[in-house]
Structures are given as structure tokens and as C-alpha cells.
Amino acid sequence: MPNEFDLTLINALQLAPRATWAELGPVLDADPTTLARRWRRLEEEGLARIAAFPVAG
């Protein structure tokens, strides 16, 4: 189950999906390595995922 910080991380990525961990670090007051590690845990537990769709064109 994600905790409040995990939900904040997910929300930040919803708002800025192309942000790097380094860019999100100061916003979330966390080390970029910590953010990457937490995201990986969320993915591994099946609680979050990234999806991409091609642009028709």
C-alpha cells in the first residue's frame, strides 16, 4: 500500500511526466536516488506503471 509520500510522488509525475528525478528532488524535498528507488518499488509491487502511446500522425 502506498504511503502519503508515495502518493505525492505519483501526483508529481502525473503533473510533470517528463520531469527527471533531479528536477523533482527539490520540489519533493527528497534525494533523486530516493525518488527513483521509491518509484521502482511502486512498479515492482504493481502499484504504479508508466504507459506510452504513439502519436497518430
Pull the grid cell for residue 7.
502518493
The answer to whether position 26 is within a domain reads: yes
Pull the grid cell for residue 46.
504493481
The answer to whether position 49 is within a domain reads: no
Look at residue 53 and tell me whether its pLDDT is greater than 90.
no
The answer to whether position 50 is within a domain reads: no
Residue 2 pLDDT: 83
Number of domains in the chain: 1
**What is the Cα–Cα distance from 4 to 23, expressed in whole angstroms?**
20
pLDDT tens for residues 2-22? 899 999 999 999 999 999 999
Global pTM value: 0.84
The answer to whether position 51 is within a domain reads: no
Residues 6+ apart with CB under 8 A from 52: none
The answer to whether position 53 is within a domain reads: no
The residue range of the domain holding 36 is 4-44
**What is the Cα–Cα distance from 50 to 41, expressed in whole angstroms?**
13
Average pLDDT score over the chain:
94
The answer to whether position 40 is within a domain reads: yes
